[in-house]
Structures are given as structure tokens and as C-alpha cells.
Amino acid sequence: METLQEKHVVITGGGSGIGAAITDALAEKGTRITIMGRKLDRLQEKVKTIKQAFAVSVDVTDLDQVEQGFAKAVANHGTVDILINNAGNAISVPFHKMGLEDWNTMLAVNLNGVFNCTQACLPSMRKQKWGRIINIASTAGLKGYAYVSAYCAAKHGVIGLTRALALETALDGITVNAVCPGYTETALTEAAIENIFQKTNYTKAEVQMQLLQNNPQKRFVQPEEIANTVFWLCQHDSKSITGQAVPVAGGEVM
């Protein structure tokens, strides 16, 4: 089997949580890595521990920053072969209390960010007739959850984009897939627990128990489990898998 050693992978949000686990997993396979995010200090701390890794400060919602960031990535490590659209954020608020600003923020980071970064890489992937695009969506892209309607709408949008783009790139050696984590033990889930705790009379332990009830295995998914799935989809031998939304959620959706 060919290896991924010669490949250049860009991971948005690669400095923390799921993105950091993906960074570690792909670094172990010898890929050249660029991680992107807004907090350059954290990204630089992360790349210190990894050979052939490079950090670029990019807000994925800003097209100019994305174009400049990808130009730096290409100048440093060559054409982008694999794009992991992982950057994301979740605001929790009942729909009737949600303002347009929250709605736009959720679409900007979770959906437009995927558009911006994919536009930046796709022409060169088409040219070289090889590419992998993996969008870290969510089970919230496959089902509804109360109080996160904008996040759900954005993640459903990511899965729609994944399916359509898979068809448009099917003859170009490119696969486009979504990975859909259930509740995963990261800062994002910690923030969700804190937010519910602040707004209700539940203790943090009770909130945690409620979130765990979503997963039939009654546990939080670990970031490394998402990273394993991403690695599987990156491989040459996974070339027939495209346009899929793969839940990693202990059986929460099926």
C-alpha cells in the first residue's frame, strides 16, 4: 500500500481538541502538516512537538486571510493534498431568543469556513488528480438537537456540500467525506456543559449525565477516535468512499 508520507495536509483548528488529535495521528504517518487557527501562540506550541509541521494564523471566516494563509502553506510545504475542515464552534441558545448575529456567526465559522478553505485547495487537487477533503461535521448534521438550531443548520449544510462536491469531483481522483462526531471530550463540550450549568438548576455532573444519555455507549467519544476515522478516509485504499457522512458516536445515529 502507498503511504501518505509525501502528502501535505492542512488541518483547520489543528491546535486543540479533535484537530490536535488529527494533527498527531497524521504526523505519525509522516505527512507534511500545516495547522491553521486564530490563536497563533497555541498553534506554535503544538507544532513544536511535531516534525515537518507549520502553523499559520487564519480566521476561516475571512476569505482574504484564508487566501493568504493557504498561499503561505503552499510556499512552505507545496500543494495541499489533504484538507481537514475541522475549525468550528457551537453557540447554544433557544431559537426564539437567537439574534441574527448568533445565526450569522454559526454559519460563518461552521459552513462558510468550509467553503472558503475548500475553494482555496480544490483547483490544485483537480490539477494533480488526487485529493482528500474531510469535513468534521457532527451528529448535529444528521439529526436535530434543541437550542443549537444555527449549529445544526450549518452542520446539515456541511453534509449537503460534502455530498454535492463528491459528485462534482468523482472523476478527479478526489474524495469528499464528512465525519460526524457525537459528544466528544474537548473544550467545546466543556463549554456546552458550563453553559447549561449557568442557565439551569442542574449541577455539572447532572448536565454531563444528560449529554451522555445521547450516546448508547454512555460515554464521550475521544478525539483520537475521530482522528482514526479521518486517517482511514485519507488513505489511498479508501478511494471508493466518497460523499459519505460517517458518524463516530457510539450508535447515536444509524
How many residues interact with ligand NAP (rule CB under 6 A)?
Answer: 30
88 binds ligand NAP (CB under 6 A): yes
Site string for ligand NAP, 183-222 (x = CB under 6 A): xx-xxxx---------------------------------
For the CB of residue 208, give the shortest distance to ligand NAP in the complex, in Å. Answer: 12
Burial grade of 160 (CB within 10 A; 0-12, 13-18, 19 or more)? middle
> Hey, which bits of the chain come out as E strands?
8-12, 32-37, 53-57, 82-85, 131-136, 174-181, 245-248
For the CB of residue 126, give the shortest distance to ligand NAP in the complex, in Å. Answer: 25
149 binds ligand NAP (CB under 6 A): no
For the CB of residue 147, give the shortest distance to ligand NAP in the complex, in Å. Answer: 15
Is the Cβ–Cβ distance between 54 and 33 less than 8 Å? yes
Taking Cα atoms as reference points, which of 150, 153, 59 lies closest to residue 105? 150
Among residues 136, 176, 196, 207, the one that binds ligand NAP under rule CB under 6 A: 136
DSSP for 30-76, written as a single string: T-EEEEEES-HHHHHHHHTTSTTEEEEE--TT-HHHHHHHHHHHHHH
Among residues 7, 11, 13, 148, the one that binds ligand NAP under rule CB under 6 A: 13
Give just the sign of the alpha carbon dihedral 68, 39, 103, 185: positive
**Residues with active-site annotation:** 151
Comparison of 57 and 128: residue with beta carbon closer to ligand NAP: 57
Among residues 157, 181, 247, 250, the one that binds ligand NAP under rule CB under 6 A: 181
23 binds ligand NAP (CB under 6 A): no
121 binds ligand NAP (CB under 6 A): no
Backbone angles phi and psi of 42, in degrees to 5:
-65, -40
Q: Bin 43: left if φ > 0, else alpha if -120 < ψ < 50, else beta.
A: alpha
Comparison of 19 and 157: residue with beta carbon closer to ligand NAP: 19
- What is the C-alpha separation between 17 and 112, in angstroms, rounded? 21
Neighbours of 187 (CB within 10 A): 9
For the CB of residue 220, give the shortest distance to ligand NAP in the complex, in Å. Answer: 7
Q: Which of residues 44-63 bind ligand NAP (CB under 6 A)?
A: 58-61
For the CB of residue 228, give the shortest distance to ligand NAP in the complex, in Å. Answer: 15
Neighbours of 101 (CB within 10 A): 9
Query: Interface residues with ligand NAP (CB under 6 A)?
Result: 12-13, 15-19, 37-39, 42, 58-61, 86-90, 109, 136, 138, 181, 183-184, 186-189
